């Protein structure tokens, strides 16, 4: 192996070794651990799937930690001295400061048979209302088929992603509930349509009501 390739391989190994050390270093306070992990992740290249393999963990678990690490500094500080279960990380990462504080206090005083995740979700829902997943899940089926048509009209997305929106319409029409993975995909696609101008407030396409429903669900 040429010296340059050998050096690159050694460098890559060192980056993932640093990431693994950061992942396993639980001597830090939780907020400090999150920041160190995030720094190590991006220094290692920022590839979620490869990093998860290196850490022998699920990509979702790593993504949840990274989401928490991206919280504003004042919200991260609320997590100092605590160690919320991984099942609560995604919810906490999308919560308001008030909801994070209330959820952490509830977890610290937990004395019920409810799971930590259900406790956190209930508190966030009470304080912040339904989250984006719940709001998009509640959209009528025609919102997804209409979004697919607008994507075609505006030249956005591609055949595969437009077909996914049509598929969500069929699932909703048949009374099925979209899975968390499907909802995450739907949120991403609908957001792209909003950013591309296909779905907007005061739409001139005669579809203001549906556009507003979609934007309200996305929180845009």
54-98 confidence digits (pLDDT tens): 999 999 899 999 999 999 999 999 999 899 999 999 889 988 899
My answer on whether 117 and 139 are in the same domain is no
Both structure tokens of 97: 């400061």
pTM: 0.61
pLDDT score recorded for residue 4: 52
My answer on whether 89 and 55 are in the same domain is no
- DSSP 3-state percent helix, strand, coil across the chain (nearest 5): 70, 0, 30
Residue 106 CA: distances (Å) to CA of 89, 132, 206: 15, 22, 46
- The answer on pLDDT for 41 being more than 70 is yes
My answer on whether 94 and 52 are in the same domain is no
My answer on whether 147 and 121 are in the same domain is no
Asked whether residue 76 is assigned to any structural domain, the reply reads: no
| Burial of 4: CB neighbours in 10 Å, binned 0-12, 13-18, 19+ | exposed
pLDDT score recorded for residue 132: 85
Query: What is the spatial distance between Cα 5 and Cα 47, in angstroms, rounded to a whole number?
Result: 20
34-37: list long-range contacts, CB under 8 Å, 24+ apart. 34/65, 34/68, 34/69, 34/76, 34/79, 35/69, 35/76, 37/65, 37/66, 37/69
pLDDT score recorded for residue 43: 93
Asked whether residue 111 is assigned to any structural domain, the reply reads: yes
Q: Are 81 and 30 in contact (CB under 8 A)?
A: yes
Asked whether residue 80 is assigned to any structural domain, the reply reads: no
Closest CA to 136 of 169, 100, 99, 160: 169
Asked whether residue 204 is assigned to any structural domain, the reply reads: yes
User: What is the residue-averaged pLDDT of the chain?
Assistant: 89
Which of 11-15, 115-119, 129-133 has maximum average pLDDT?
115-119
Query: What is the spatial distance between Cα 24 and Cα 190, in angstroms, rounded to a whole number?
Result: 37
171-216 confidence digits (pLDDT tens): 999 999 999 889 989 999 999 999 999 999 989 899 999 999 999 9
pLDDT score recorded for residue 130: 81
Q: Are 87 and 74 in contact (CB under 8 A)?
A: no
Q: Are 175 and 133 in contact (CB under 8 A)?
A: no
> What is the residue range of 26's domain?
1-70
Q: Are 183 and 133 in contact (CB under 8 A)?
A: yes
My answer on whether 195 and 210 are in the same domain is yes
Q: What is the DSSP letter of 46?
A: -
pLDDT score recorded for residue 7: 43
pLDDT: is 169 or 96 the higher one?
169
Q: Mean pLDDT over residues 127-141, rounded?
A: 88
My answer on whether 20 and 48 are in the same domain is yes
My answer on whether 125 and 150 are in the same domain is no
Query: What is the spatial distance between Cα 153 and Cα 197, in angstroms, rounded to a whole number?
Result: 11
Asked whether residue 160 is assigned to any structural domain, the reply reads: yes
pLDDT > 90 in the chain, percent: 69
Closest CA to 116 of 104, 125, 128: 104
Query: What is the spatial distance between Cα 49 and Cα 64, in angstroms, rounded to a whole number?
Result: 13
pLDDT: is 189 or 46 the higher one?
189
My answer on whether 119 and 143 are in the same domain is no
Closest CA to 84 of 109, 57, 107: 107
My answer on whether 89 and 49 are in the same domain is no
My answer on whether 45 and 6 are in the same domain is yes
Asked whether residue 78 is assigned to any structural domain, the reply reads: no
pLDDT > 70 in the chain, percent: 94
pLDDT: is 95 or 151 the higher one?
151
- Please give the tally of structural domains in the chain: 3
Among 105-109, 140-144, 165-169, whose mean pLDDT is lowest? 105-109
Residue 128 — very low, low, confident or very high, per pLDDT cuts 50/70/90? confident
């Amino acid at each position: 192996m040429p010296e340059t390739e050998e050096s690159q391989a050694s460098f890559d190994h060192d980056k993932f070794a640093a990431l693994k050390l950061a992942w396993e270093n639980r001597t830090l306070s939780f907020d400090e651990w999150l920041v160190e992990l995030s720094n190590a992740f991006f220094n290692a290249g920022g590839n979620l799937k490869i990093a998860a393999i290196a850490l022998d963990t699920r990509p979702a678990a790593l993504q949840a930690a990274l989401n928490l690490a991206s919280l504003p500094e004042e919200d991260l500080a609320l997590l100092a001295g605590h160690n919320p279960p991984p099942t609560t990380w995604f919810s906490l990462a999308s919560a308001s400061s008030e909801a994070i504080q209330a959820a952490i206090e509830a977890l610290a005083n937990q004395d019920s048979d409810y799971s930590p995740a259900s406790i956190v979700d209930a508190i966030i829902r009470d304080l912040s209302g339904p989250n984006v997943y719940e709001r998009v899940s509640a959209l009528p089926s025609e919102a997804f088929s209409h979004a697919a048509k607008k994507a075609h009209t505006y030249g956005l997305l591609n055949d595969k992603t437009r077909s996914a929106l049509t598929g969500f319409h069929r699932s909703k029409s048949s009374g099925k509930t979209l899975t968390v993975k499907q909802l995450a995909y739907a949120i991403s696609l609908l957001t792209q349509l909003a950013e591309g101008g296909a779905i907007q407030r005061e739409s001139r396409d005669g579809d203001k009501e549906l556009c507003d429903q979609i934007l309200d669900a996305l929180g845009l």
